[in-house]
Amino acid sequence: MDHKLLSTILALLLSLSQAHHLVELGNEDAYGEKQKIENAMKTFNTETCIRFVPRFSQSDYISIENRDGCYSSLGRTGGTQVVSLATYGCVYHGIIQHELNHALGFYHEHTRSDRDQYVRINWQYIPSNTIYNFQKQDTNNLYTPYDYTSVMHYGR
Ligand SMILES: [Zn+2]
């Protein structure tokens, strides 16, 4: 691996680990969601350089809320950044990881720049209001193989 690429990766990892590690979970926990969310966060702490820690007074942080659906902004927005994990349908290990990855700045695997070598998008079946979930991105894939099993890949 050449030095420039390595330093790019390190810079990316550093900015990720510094940018998005402050988290606030709401109090309502009727179905044990908080434990499931914390378990999903722990996998980042043990398997990546990302460290999610509880928020205390920081102004930029992720607020995980039970809203209408599973969604997140892409990357850091500043201020209170809502990651929605609706009680019904979103509080599953892979979905929690998926939305947190979006908050960290990761696109869907099936939108990476080389995706056309691996998947065919059947545009005719995609509702117009969700097309953005399939639009190809100008990603630098850092020589990583395309991963059909990624939590960031939709089902085939
Ligand atoms: Zn997504």
H/E run at residue 22:
strand 22-25
- Residue 17 CA, ligand 1 centroid: distance in Å: 20
The one catalytic residue among 38, 65, 99, 109? 99
pLDDT at 107 over 50: yes
| C-alpha–C-alpha distance, residues 128 and 135, integer Å | 12
**Percent of the chain at pLDDT above 70?**
80
Question: What average pLDDT score do residues 88-98 get?
Answer: 95
Split at pLDDT 50, 70, 90, the class of 102 is very high
- Residue 30 CA, ligand 1 centroid: distance in Å: 25
Q: What is the separation, in whole angstroms, between the first and last Cα of the chain?
A: 32
| C-alpha–C-alpha distance, residues 113 and 77, integer Å | 24
Q: What is the dihedral of CA 146, 47, 156, 93, to 10 degrees?
A: -170
Output the average pLDDT for the chain.
Answer: 86
| C-alpha–C-alpha distance, residues 102 and 93, integer Å | 15
- Residue 3 CA, ligand 1 centroid: distance in Å: 32
The structure tokens listed for 64 are 């995980």
Predicted TM-score of the model (pTM) = 0.82
Whether residue 99 lies in the annotated active site: yes
Question: What average pLDDT score do residues 1-13 get?
Answer: 46
* Pair 143, 92: CB distance under 8 Å: no
- Residue 64 CA, ligand 1 centroid: distance in Å: 15
Asked whether the CA dihedral 96, 76, 105, 53 is positive or negative, the reply is negative
Tell me the per-residue pLDDT of 14-52, one tens digit each, with 9 for 90 and over. Answer: 444 444 456 666 666 666 888 999 999 999 999 999 999
H/E run at residue 47:
helix 33-47
